Structure 1
Amino acid sequence: MVLEIYPDIYLLEIPLPNNPLRSLNSYVIKSKELNLIIDTGFNIEECKDAFMKGLKDLNINIENTSLLITHLHSDHSGLAASLNQKGVKVYAGEIDGNMINEMTKEEYWKRFDDYKILFDLERDNISIDDHPGYKYCPKKPIDFIPLEEGQILTIGNYKLEVVDIPGHTPGHIGLYEREHRLFFGGDHVLNRITPNISFWGFNGDILSIYFESLKKVYDYSIDFLFSSHRSIVTAHRKRIEQLLKHHAERLNEIRGIIKDKKMSIRDVASKMHWDLRCDSWEYFPSPQKWFASGEAMSHLEHLAYIGEAERTEKNGILYYKLIG
């Protein structure tokens, strides 16, 4: 499906088969001199076919078209390498661009075997082979142009300012058009669903980083926030307030779970509320166990970071308990 959502700005709905996200909103900004595509879909034929059909319907010539990847996840970057090989310039934030290229190496994914132990997921007999990031990411490195905060990309009548919005991923970026009050936000702010905030290592409190990025965008004057899933956000401050409230409630939920005893990340995740049609943790699809445990971990680490939870390790498995 192709829709013109603003003058010379089009939405391509790219299906994401067998995924609870259902589809990706890829955006195309057209001009006589240069076109810009924002995000692509998975590295699979279903996504590629829908993507290329959308470009054909818009009469897009890739020879004068560039691609911007908002962040590293495979539903956003999956087709970047194949487009890059066709001569398309690819833009990305430096952090996530480098991570996309690391994801083409088996060494990157081997660390998930360590996470499987760390999170206590070996009990569920899951494998990295089930992870959408592993299955659908680009298989070859991309020669990308790194973007920095404040840089301007001019496409036709639009001057798009690069904005750093880490949290959903370590190097997530967005594009802000000040004059027209537009924001291309990737997965930073979504309507009706909440972005997954996962664990990215022990080098910082990613949940606090996400909160700061939400507050940053809150202050912008935005009429339309073009998100990557579900519908366009037309009241971004209200939605950001809802997201902050959601995470406050999530943290309180986890405080209650770890109040009386040490628990592994997997066991905490299994007791949290998730909007999935599954009777119990045992029936969760394996990919969702990865994502749920990653989100539980980011919240547990936040509580440890602010001094409310104690982290211990035994036999390679992490355990958390509320202090006091």
Structure 2
Amino acid sequence: MITEIYSNIYKQEIPLPKNPLKAVNSYIITSPERNLIIDTGFNIEECKKAFMEGIEELAIDFTKTDLLVTHLHSDHSGLASELEKQGVRVYAGKIDGKMINDMTNGTYWDNFNRYKNMFHLNQDNVSVDDNPGYKYALKEPIEFTPVEEGDVINIGEYSFNIVDIPGHTPGHVGLYEKNHKLFFCGDHILDKITPNIAFWGFERDILEVYFNSLKKVYEYDIDFLFTAHRNIIIDYKRRINELLAHHDHRLNEVKEIIKNNKKTVRDTAANMHWELRYDKWEDFPKAQKWFASAEAASHLEHLACIGEAEKTEEDGILYYKLKSN
């Protein structure tokens, strides 16, 4: 079902079958001259069918339409190549646009296998084949029009500024409309659920990057924060404070886990509290074990970067232990 949520701005919930996120919010901004779509859903028939129903209801002409992919995850980018074939111009941030194309040739997934070994997830038989990001991603590279902070996309009465908000992914971008005080934030800020802040390599402290992006958005003047999952947010400053508090709690939890004995990423994740319906780690689906471990890794790396944890490597496996005072 598609709903007008603001003048010429429509939201449609694209179902994500067998996924705890349940649905992704795809937005469509219309004008007589040109339209803009924000995010798409998985590259599967169920998502395509639901997506096209909204397109047909609004009588969208793809040759007069652009797509902005807020970030690389397949529930946001999965149908991008399908739309490009229909004449849609596709925007993405420079970093995530490259990574989306890397996902089509295996380069991206080489890191998955490397980190899986480092996290000690081999004992759980976690495989790239279990990951929805692999299963439901686009299958061929596309020609992105790269965007970066300060670029402007004009659609009808709206003038959208690209805002860099890395953290959930290394190159996540959002759209800010200053005159109407609207912000499309993808997965950067979500209501009811917390965005997964995963490990993205040793060259950046991604959790610190995420904190800085949250604080950046906090300073904007926003009436409506349009999220990619669940509810539209009105009191965005309250939600940002809640997310910062959540990660502060997470860091304290992780410090308790690694206080007395060194732990692998996998064993740290297994001892953390997760809002899932499974009672013990052994019951987690393999994909959820990866997501949990990747989030544990981002928190462990942050503690190492700020000097509160020491990191060692043994036989290719990472271990973390809280430093003594």
Q: TM-score range by the shorter chain?
A: over 0.9
Alignment correspondent of 1:53 = 53
Deviation at 1:57, TM superposition (A): 0.9
Alignment correspondent of 2:150 = 150
Alignment correspondent of 1:63 = 63
Aligned residues: 324
Deviation at 1:85, TM superposition (A): 1.6
Q: Secondary structure in 2 aligned to 1:137?
A: coil
Q: Secondary structure in 2 aligned to 1:91?
A: strand
In 2: Cα distance, 1:78 partner to 1:108 partner: 15
Deviates more, 1:53-62 or 1:18-27: 53-62
In 2: Cα distance, 1:126 partner to 1:101 partner: 23
1:275-294 counterparts in 2 under 5 A?
Answer: 275-294=275-294
Q: Secondary structure in 1 aligned to 2:176?
A: strand
Equivalent AA in structure 2 for residue 263 of structure 1: K
Structure 2: unaligned runs, 5 residues or longer: none
Deviates more, 1:173-182 or 1:107-116: 107-116
Alignment correspondent of 1:86 = 86
Structure 1: unaligned runs, 5 residues or longer: none
In 2: Cα distance, 1:166 partner to 1:115 partner: 20
Equivalent AA in structure 2 for residue 317 of structure 1: I
Alignment correspondent of 1:244 = 244
In 2: Cα distance, 1:65 partner to 1:108 partner: 29
Deviation at 1:315, TM superposition (A): 1.1
In 1: Cα distance, 2:289 partner to 2:60 partner: 39
Q: Secondary structure in 1 aligned to 2:40?
A: coil
Equivalent AA in structure 2 for residue 141 of structure 1: P
Deviation at 1:71, TM superposition (A): 0.3
Identity fraction in percent: 63
Alignment correspondent of 2:301 = 301
Deviation at 1:148, TM superposition (A): 1.4
Equivalent AA in structure 2 for residue 58 of structure 1: L
In 2: Cα distance, 1:86 partner to 1:215 partner: 38
1:1-324 counterparts in 2 under 5 A?
Answer: 1-324=1-324
Equivalent AA in structure 1 for residue 58 of structure 2: L
Deviates more, 1:258-267 or 1:116-125: 116-125
Equivalent AA in structure 2 for residue 99 of structure 1: M
In 1: Cα distance, 2:69 partner to 2:197 partner: 18
Q: Secondary structure in 2 aligned to 1:263?
A: coil
TM-score (norm 1): 0.99
Q: Secondary structure in 2 aligned to 1:54?
A: helix
Equivalent AA in structure 1 for residue 230 of structure 2: R
TM-score (norm 2): 0.99
Deviation at 1:106, TM superposition (A): 1.9
Deviation at 1:111, TM superposition (A): 2.5
Deviation at 1:107, TM superposition (A): 3.0
Q: CA RMSD in A?
A: 0.6
Deviates more, 1:82-91 or 1:178-187: 82-91
